[in-house]
């Protein structure tokens, strides 16, 4: 039941983002997902400040992890579509949880 609720919220978030920012290619969505998945496997997802040696997606993920459940988190999701897809990748890799 919780998984269905999470999936529904993520789907709503994606649809809202598409309406606001437009859509981007499947290739870019896959690139973001694979980057976050690899970063998790390497232990690079931490609540740390930006690091210029990490990709922009990993830095975005770390920013979301650091600011989760704050107003800054919501503002980050409203920045651009990349942050939405980074968030979706974090949820799909169980790096962050979705609350009902």
> What is the sign of the dihedral through the CA atoms of 5, 29, 87 and 89?
positive
C-alpha span between 35 and 22 (Å, rounded):
22
pLDDT of residue 5: 62
pTM beyond 0.85, yes or no? no
In percent, the amount of the chain with pLDDT more than 70 equals 85
Average pLDDT value for residue range 49-58:
94
pLDDT band at 42 (very low <50, low <70, confident <90, very high): very high
């Amino acid at each position: 039941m919780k998984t269905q609720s999470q999936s529904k919220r993520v789907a709503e978030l994606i649809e809202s983002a598409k309406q606001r920012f437009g859509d981007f290619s499947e290739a870019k969505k896959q690139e973001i997902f694979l980057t976050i998945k690899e970063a998790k496997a390497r232990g690079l997802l931490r609540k740390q400040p930006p690091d210029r040696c990490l990709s922009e997606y990993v830095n975005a993920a770390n920013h979301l992890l650091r600011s989760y459940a704050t107003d800054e988190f919501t503002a980050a999701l409203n920045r651009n579509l990349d942050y939405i897809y980074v968030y979706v990748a974090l949820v799909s890799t169980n790096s962050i949880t979705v609350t009902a």
